[in-house]
Amino acid sequence: MPKGKKGGHKGRMRQYNSPEEIEAQLRAERTKAKEEDEDPDEGAAGDNEKDSRVLDSEDSEDEDYKPKRKGVEGLIDIENPNRAAQASKKVTTVDLEKPKELSRREREEIEKQKAKERYMKLHLAGKTDQAKADLARLAIIRKQREEAARKKEEERKAKEDTAAVSKGVQSMSLN
């Protein structure tokens, strides 16, 4: 390390604010902004009212709070959808009775399962092209097997007849 330099900016300790400190700072800014907006000539009775209003409305204004725009920001409307803060829903406002909206993937999966079930019903009933082709193939195979069984039976009978004839010839020759 060169002489005369004691640690650069990169070596400093970082300080982080806790969420509680940040909330306290935001509340202080809001109350300050409200005080600036209201008339300063209200008097002592107005101050007591103002304090009670600030305490009551702090919770309700967390959602509606919009910071004061500085400089040119107030003049230019920015249409950046990523910049908009998404409003969080309170548990009390969520409606559990209405049906849950499914995502695109979930809807596609359900549609795919229903289509598969429909196809299987038609297939079992023999109404699909594939089922008709399978049934035709099975009919051809049955005919071939019946013919093969019939030929086998005829060959067996022919062998029995020849065996009977040859036994008859042997028995005659022995006599």
Would you list the domain boundaries of the chain? 104-174
CA distances from 130 to 11, 32, 127, 136 (A): 73, 77, 8, 10
pTM over 0.85: no
- pLDDT tens per residue across all 175 residues of the chain: 455 555 556 666 677 888 899 999 999 999 998 888 875 555 444 455 555 554 455 545 555 566 676 777 667 766 666 766 667 777 777 667 777 788 999 999 999 999 999 999 999 998 989 999 999 999 999 999 999 999 999 999 999 988 888 877 666 666 5
